[in-house]
A and B are shown apart, each in its own frame.
Chain A
Amino acid sequence: MKFRVERDVLADAVAWTARSLPARPPAPVLAGLLLRAESGQLTVSGFDYEVSARSEVSTEIEQEGTALVSGKLLAEITRSLPNRPVEITTEGSKVTLVCGTSRFTLQTMPVDDYPALPQMPGASGAIAGNTFANAVSQVAVAAGKDDTLPFLTGVRIEINGDTLRLAATDRYRLAVREILWKPERADAEAVALVPAKTLYDIAKSLTSGEWVTIALSGEDGAVGEGLIGFEAGGRRTTTRLLEGEFIKYNALFPSEYTGAAVIETAPLIEAVKRVALVAERNTPIRLNFSAGQVTLEAGSGDEAQASETMDAVFDEEDISVAFNPGYLLEGLGAIDAPFAQLSYTTSTKPAVLTGRPAVDADHDPAYRYLIMPIRLSG
């Protein structure tokens, strides 16, 4: 194998693919990246039986071939190379990488031992990369971190015609985002449960291309069953789906609300952060709503206390609701609108955060963050 490639092109392709390499590979070959030079294309791929990644770039190929080298080392080397063309050659069991005056010789691992990458399922549709990354980050924040109940660590993806719905919950809050996308077929229907952290990383890394194609096999036995694939700008990645049923989350939203308060988002986030400084671990921040204002309070009794009052659009009967400050902040951070609307029924029933583009505009139900209040004792 012998080819020449621009340093930036190579470094980007290698860095992106190396992201998904396992930290603790059960077999040494899985720590490798497979380089394949074939018909004018260099393919860099990695796989750990969970996540696969494949990046294709055009190169000048002198001699076709394949080589498997340590992915971590290759990523570190390509990242620190000078900005000159890179020439990669295999010589026996070694790979030589020459860039300007730098020269590296790397050991190769047997290509035959490397597992074949899973096949991508057929494309289901496409969505703008930035929109997708943004929507995923809004939802993934609510996913569970510990795997006592594995389905809580996933993001549920539901495809229903031209609507793509994402949902995640850790039993204390639930985030749901609906976006329009371009399905391959107008009657496309599919559901999947994708590990939240993997999905978040993938979505964030695929914003360079304009469109991200999402590939999900709709029926049993089709190509790529149990997988979801993403493709953008010559990069393809697949990840294994989580097993298990997601809860029927629509039933968790209250059917009707007693009232709602509207507060400017950015100052509220600042105020919550300040007041929450005195909230001990696992203690709530209280939101006391009264005509035209909200008072934030935290701390109690002999401990440190804080309070802050700010304007709010509110004209219902006074109410106090208490939340875990971390969960409240993550929800406010995710609504991505200048005004936040908190809709409630009672102080012990779940409340919903939604965004409002302006204080007098209607709220935007495309993103909803359901949050369980903390019951106040006494």
Chain B
Amino acid sequence: MRLVIAQCSVDYAGRLAAHLPSARRLLIVKADGSVLVHSDGGSYKPLNWMSPPCTLKEEGQGGDALVWTVTNKAGEQLVIAIEEVFHDSAHELGVDPGLRKDGVESHLQALLAEQIETLGKGWRLIRREYPTPIGPVDILCRDAAGATVAVEIKRRGEIDGVEQLTRYLELLNRDPLLAPVRGVFAAQEIKPQARVLAVDRGITCAVLDYEVMRGRDDPSSRLF
């Protein structure tokens, strides 16, 4: 990851031409070869950029002046004319672990496992991540009457979540020690389509209040 802060002007020649007049900007050269031109604003969006694969050619024009030419496979060019460099550094970032979008989901699973009685009085946890041949089901538990219940947890309950739970239920119900297993589809919000499908398949829907479950709820702001 190379960061350069420089006084520069930028010309883009490709499907459409664009010109950025001379100003101070942040130039980012990433390990994948991409080059991005950022101003001090506009949030995550660069003013101009070139996606990889592309090549960066740096040419000195005498003195401080430099020209970077970034060319991609289609022959489009990003030409950055640098007048003055204020900062130039490179850092090795290594491999990124990636965005974990399911953070809330796994937290919901942990919270629900601890507070399994949210789903009904007298319910008991069998285990989290109960293995099935097609992957683990979020929670397996027993209701007050001792019947097995499989719980699938989602942030947003949509049709595919119901399908997923249906597949787990089919496999779990083949196990004579567990059967009959019924399903609970638990989510922070459940789409009407998903609810119809779940109810049609005999799956119970449960809406989870994340704020209450993680104790962020302030009962003094309410009547009860």
User: A residues bordering B, Cβ < 8 Å?
Assistant: 22-24, 26, 146-149, 169, 171-174, 247, 252, 348, 350, 370, 372, 374-375
* B89 CB–A CB distance under 8 Å: no
Q: A24-B193, A24-B196, A26-B199 are in contact. Are A169 and B223 (CB under 8 A)?
A: yes
> Within the complex, which residue of A22, A174, A374, A375 is in contact with B223, where a contact is CB–CB below 8 Å?
A174
Contact B209–A148 (Cβ < 8 Å): yes
Instruction: Determine the chain A residues whose CB is within 8 A of the CB of B192 once the complex forms.
Output: 23-24
Q: A23-B192, A24-B196, A26-B200 are in contact. Are A173 and B209 (CB under 8 A)?
A: no
Q: Residue on A with the closest CB to B196?
A: A24
Instruction: Determine the chain A residues whose CB is within 8 A of the CB of B209 once the complex forms.
Output: 148-149
Q: Residue on B with the closest CB to A150?
A: B207
What number of residue pairs across chains A and B have CB atoms under 8 A from each other? 38
Nearest Cβ on chain A to B55's Cβ, whole angstroms: 49
Instruction: Determine the chain B residues whose CB is within 8 A of the CB of A146 once the complex forms.
Output: 189, 207
Instruction: Determine the chain A residues whose CB is within 8 A of the CB of B220 once the complex forms.
Output: 348, 375
In the bound assembly, the distance between CA atoms of A22 and B196 in angstroms comes to 10
| Interface class of chain A by DSSP | loop
Chain B's interface size range is 10 to 19
Contact B221–A26 (Cβ < 8 Å): no
In the bound assembly, the distance between CA atoms of A250 and B44 in angstroms comes to 54
* B222 CB–A CB distance under 8 Å: yes
Question: Of B189, B222, B224, which is in contact with the most chain A CB atoms at under 10 Å from its CB?
Answer: B224
Nearest Cβ on chain A to B164's Cβ, whole angstroms: 19
Contact A252–B221 (Cβ < 8 Å): no
| New A-B contacts (18) at CB < 8 Å, excluding given A173-B223, A252-B223 | A22-B196, A23-B192, A24-B192, A26-B196, A26-B200, A147-B207, A148-B209, A169-B223, A171-B223, A171-B224, A172-B221, A172-B222, A172-B223, A174-B223, A247-B224, A370-B223, A372-B221, A375-B220
Q: Residue on A with the closest CB to B192?
A: A24
In the bound assembly, the distance between CA atoms of A24 and B223 in angstroms comes to 35
In the bound assembly, the distance between CA atoms of A174 and B223 in angstroms comes to 8
* A–B complex contacts, Cβ < 8 Å, 28 sampled: A24-B192, A24-B196, A26-B197, A26-B199, A26-B200, A146-B189, A146-B207, A147-B207, A148-B208, A148-B209, A148-B212, A149-B209, A171-B222, A171-B224, A172-B221, A172-B222, A172-B223, A173-B223, A174-B223, A252-B223, A252-B224, A350-B223, A370-B223, A372-B221, A372-B223, A374-B221, A375-B220, A375-B221
Contact B207–A372 (Cβ < 8 Å): no
Q: Residue on A with the closest CB to B209?
A: A148
Question: Of B208, B222, B223, which is in contact with the most chain A CB atoms at under 10 Å from its CB?
Answer: B223
Instruction: Determine the chain A residues whose CB is within 8 A of the CB of B200 once the complex forms.
Output: 26
